[in-house]
Amino acid sequence: MNSSAPDFAGPVLRTRDVDVVRDGRHLLRGITLEIRPGEHWALLGPNGAGKSTLLALLGAVSHPTRGEVDVLGRRLGRVDVRELRAHLGHVNPRHPLRSPLSVREVVLTGYTNTIEPEFHRKPAPEALERAEQLIDTLGMRAMAEAAWTTLSQGERGRALIARALMPSPRLLLLDEPATGLDLTARELLLDSLDLLRHQHPELASVLVTHHLEELPESTTHALLLRGGECVAAGPVDEVMATELISETFGHPIRISRHEGRWTARAAARRTPGR
């Protein structure tokens, strides 16, 4: 199994002056970034800013046109990306499972990184134990036996995070995990992420969103993207500022933080009737 992460102590991710050009169009330009163990990054920006394009690079799913991307100390373009991906937990909200596996079985497929279970192989005792721990961390105990096909979107989201964590990845990548969730489901998801980060202090993560309200309290850093360029990147207290968020979204937005969570609203409201 792939549970032994590459032996190296540096940053989990490092990009240097990265450009991505597709069909003659710059989707990313000059992105330089370093993510260390224990850091939890928010990747924020409006539609089309390049967030998914950047996440695909960080997950070793695609390559840069120019510049360098090091994932777990390995340079993209010089390593077997399939081997590298085994150490990354990439949560795909469009998980292509169709069969009625239970939550426990779905979580266990993370160990073999397959969509369906490998029925001919009995899961190892340590895999079974880890699955139970993750089911608890993600608040799925009451529905461990429930069939995937009957789960709500929020329940599926949490099951997929547990699944992605099965091989003890160094890095967890989350692409808009709270999209489409109702208020309770979103709060459960964010609570689970806070707990997970507390229980696994070496884990690093990158969470993509358009919505500041969808950021867990445990977020430590943010990168703001607009038109494929970095507006700001660094610790949340420096980056999550009204002026920088307004510049990123191209609109005057006032942000505030209360008990660790953010809210955003238009800075100037028009008077009704004018």
Residue 157 interacting with ligand ATP (CB under 6 A): no
Q: What number of other Cβ atoms are within 10 A of residue 205's Cβ?
A: 27
The DSSP secondary structure of the chain, one letter per residue, reads ---S--S--S-SEEEEEEEEEETTEEEEEEEEEEE-TT-EEEEE--TTSSHHHHHHHHTTSS--SEEEEEETTEETTTS-HHHHHTTEEEE-TT----S--BHHHHHHHHHHT-SS--TTSPPPHHHHHHHHHHHHHTT-GGGTTSBGGG--HHHHHHHHHHHHHTT--SEEEEESTTTT--HHHHHHHHHHHHHHHHH-TT-EEEEEES-GGG--TT--EEEEEETTEEEEEEEHHHHS-HHHHHHHHTS-EEEEEETTEEEEEESSPPPTT-
Least Cβ distance, residue 25 to ligand ATP (angstroms): 5
Closer residue to ligand ATP in complex, CB, 12/28: 28
Stretch that binds ligand ATP, among 3-11, 46-54, 60-68, 243-251 (CB under 6 A): 46-54
Closer residue to ligand ATP in complex, CB, 94/269: 94
Residue 49 interacting with ligand ATP (CB under 6 A): yes
Least Cβ distance, residue 186 to ligand ATP (angstroms): 17
Judge whether 171 and 35 are in contact, CB under 8 Å.
yes
Residue 64 interacting with ligand ATP (CB under 6 A): no
In the window 194-253, what residues touch ligand ATP (CB under 6 A)?
Answer: 210
Least Cβ distance, residue 210 to ligand ATP (angstroms): 6
Residue 27 interacting with ligand ATP (CB under 6 A): yes
Closer residue to ligand ATP in complex, CB, 188/264: 264
CA 139 – CA 188 distance, rounded (Å): 8
Residue 22 interacting with ligand ATP (CB under 6 A): yes
Residue 51 interacting with ligand ATP (CB under 6 A): yes
Residue 78 interacting with ligand ATP (CB under 6 A): no
CA 251 – CA 246 distance, rounded (Å): 5
Using CB under 6 A, pick the residue from 12, 13, 31, 53 that binds ligand ATP: 53
Would you call 150 exposed, middle or buried from its count of C-beta atoms within 10 A (0-12, 13-18, 19+)? exposed
Residue 47 interacting with ligand ATP (CB under 6 A): yes
Least Cβ distance, residue 188 to ligand ATP (angstroms): 23
Using CB under 6 A, pick the residue from 10, 48, 100, 252 that binds ligand ATP: 48
Closer residue to ligand ATP in complex, CB, 23/145: 23
Residue 180 interacting with ligand ATP (CB under 6 A): no
Least Cβ distance, residue 56 to ligand ATP (angstroms): 8
Give the binding site for ligand ATP (CB under 6 A).
Answer: 22-23, 25, 27, 45, 47-53, 210
